[in-house]
Amino acid sequence: MTFPKSRPKPVPLDKSATPVQLGAPGEVRVQKRDNTAAPTLREKLCATCGKPFKLQPDEKFFDCPTCYRKNQAPRKTTKRGEARVLVQIKCSACGITEFLNFAPTDPAIALCRTCFSAQKREQKLASTHPKHR
């Protein structure tokens, strides 16, 4: 298939126009968006249930609001000035008295933070470097 070798005809320039209006060579013309135009809502499909839902242009969600609320863990909100309950324990390893922000399952074998982290570190090292006999 061959195409005709015709070129588009040049558009005659308006003699009254100034070089700034036409865009002089080497000059960049920028036209700003109209600020009064409201952003349009985008329609997207939920990744979980497949139902369509609408988003603002600046939002980036993959789930519809219903699925998002179902999948997110509920947050514990603490109000300003609300008292926190602390439980006093005596460490079974070193004997120090410490306060914890949760109730241990068995206070008789509870560990302080230092002993607990040391025990975790030892367990991790033992599991990554097994001793050969």
Domain that holds residue 56: 42-70
pLDDT of 5 above 80: no
pLDDT in tens, 48-73: 888 898 888 788 888 888 888 888 87
In this structure, is residue 58 part of a structural domain?
yes
| 107 within a domain of the structure (yes/no) | yes
Q: pLDDT value at position 3? A: 59
* 90 bridge partner residues: 97
Residue 83 lies in a domain: no
86 belongs to a structural domain: no
Contacts of 119 (CB under 8 A, 6+ apart): 93, 111
Give mean pLDDT, residues 109-119. 91
The tally of domains found in the chain comes to 2
Specify if 23 maps to a domain: no
In this structure, is residue 111 part of a structural domain?
yes
Pick from 24-28, 89-93, 124-128: least confident = 24-28
For residue 16, being part of any structural domain is answered with no
If you average pLDDT over each of 14-18, 74-78, 92-96, 123-127, which comes out highest?
Answer: 92-96
Residue 99 has pLDDT above 60, yes or no: yes
Closest CA to 89 of 99, 81, 79, 80: 99
Quick: pLDDT tens for 8-52. Answer: 666 565 555 554 455 567 777 777 766 666 678 888 888 888 889
pLDDT at 20: 47
Q: Could you give the percent of the chain with pLDDT greater than 70?
A: 70
Q: Within a domain: residue 3?
A: no
Backbone angles phi, psi at 52, to 5 degrees: -75, 145
